[in-house]
Structure 1
Amino acid sequence: MGKSIDELMEYLTGLGIEVSTVRHQAVFTVAEAQDLRGQVAGVHTKNLFLKDKKDNFFLVTVDEEAEVDLKTIHTKIGAASRVSFGKPEKLLELLGLTPGAVSVFGAINDTQLRVKVVLDEDLMAHDIINGHPLTNEATTSIRTGDLLAFLRATGHEPLILKLDGSTPN
């Protein structure tokens, strides 16, 4: 069983990281979450829990508007083969998360460091990043530098790569 939102908040406080959290109705997709815009400042994320044929797992976090090419992303993130979405059972086992609640905050539950965290370079250009704090009934805003500090404190040194395949307008 993964940590609770309260345990996550205590962990962040223990690291000296200040966050802001807004509770809301459960959301399961980026489209549903977009209906809540205006309540929470900062960039909002899309998170992909992926695996390759050798059961290497990846948590890829990008701006919610980013386009990720699943046919080629394996060449960027160091996967042993093309990737597919990880099963909900593995998501729960490794990150303590359920579909719809996936975010980088799940790294707190990956104590065996089985999941490689990959952050999009464009996402990291923002001052504030938003993600679900282990539940899809809330959104937590964290400063970019604090997000990196949190990930490193959990033992995850994130890969920061250019992943968004869309072209700017």
Structure 2
Amino acid sequence: MDRKQPVFDFLDARGIRYEWYEHPEAPTIEIARQWWRDDGSKHCKNLFFRNHKGDRHYLVCFDSERSLAIRDLEARLRQGKLTFASPERMERWLGLRPGSVSPFGLINDPENHVHLFLDVNLRDCPAYSFHPNDNRATVVIPQEEFLKYLAAVGNSYEFIELY
């Protein structure tokens, strides 16, 4: 199944500018790092969580060079105990598999169930890099174009201090 093309179709249909390139499978930041291009974009790490009741899901996006402690995140979000969402939940809410999580998975959430938290420091970055729902490629998207994407997809999001 081609998971990239729906992302490209969504962006193209809305006139959202981006560039992309293919590379070998890169399910982790450590592996992906060897394929990154020096293009001025901020490579982001994306984690998918659920609350303790399992009725709320959160995508958290932050600088790939930083670490994120889940307990600190819980305190900052004030959403109760968080755990990583299962692969089944990831497939249900984002249409994704582990190793390919990205904000582009929000195109597979027509109910806008998933809330996106972005680290506030990303506001200082001119462009971002994410997998296009397939960890064998990277999309580079200017910040203003990414914000257009978020407006088009319709999920709630906010920039918060994560570290």
TM-score interval, smaller chain:
over 0.9
Question: Displacement of 1:93 after TM fit?
Answer: 0.8
Q: How many residues align?
A: 162
Question: Displacement of 1:76 after TM fit?
Answer: 2.3
Report the equivalent of 1:48: 47
For the 8 Å contact 1:45–1:61, the answer to whether it is kept is yes
Rounded Cα–Cα distance in structure 1 between residues aligned with 2:75 and 2:153:
26
Counterpart AA for 1:47: N
Report the equivalent of 2:120: 121
Gaps of 5+ in 2: none
- Residues 12-56 of structure 1: per-residue CA shift (max 9 Å, x gap): 111111110100100111100111133654110101101111221
Rounded Cα–Cα distance in structure 2 between residues aligned with 1:13 and 1:21:
13
Rounded Cα–Cα distance in structure 1 between residues aligned with 2:81 and 2:149:
29
Task: Tell me which stretches of 4 or more aligned residues in structure 1 moved more than 6 Å.
Answer: none
Report the equivalent of 1:131: 130
Rounded Cα–Cα distance in structure 1 between residues aligned with 2:126 and 2:38:
17
Report the equivalent of 1:61: 61
Identity %: 29
Question: Displacement of 1:112 after TM fit?
Answer: 1.2
Rounded Cα–Cα distance in structure 2 between residues aligned with 1:89 and 1:40:
34
Report the equivalent of 1:105: 104
1:73 aligns with 2:73: yes
3-state SS of 1:152 partner:
helix
Question: Displacement of 1:115 after TM fit?
Answer: 0.8
Rounded Cα–Cα distance in structure 2 between residues aligned with 1:5 and 1:144:
20
**TM-score, with structure 2 as normaliser:** 0.93
Counterpart AA for 2:63: D
1:21 aligns with 2:15: no
Report the equivalent of 1:89: 88
Question: Displacement of 1:90 after TM fit?
Answer: 0.4
Counterpart AA for 1:131: F
Counterpart AA for 1:32: I
3-state SS of 1:71 partner:
helix
Question: Displacement of 1:78 after TM fit?
Answer: 4.2
Question: What is the alpha-carbon root mean square deviation over aligned residues?
Answer: 1.6
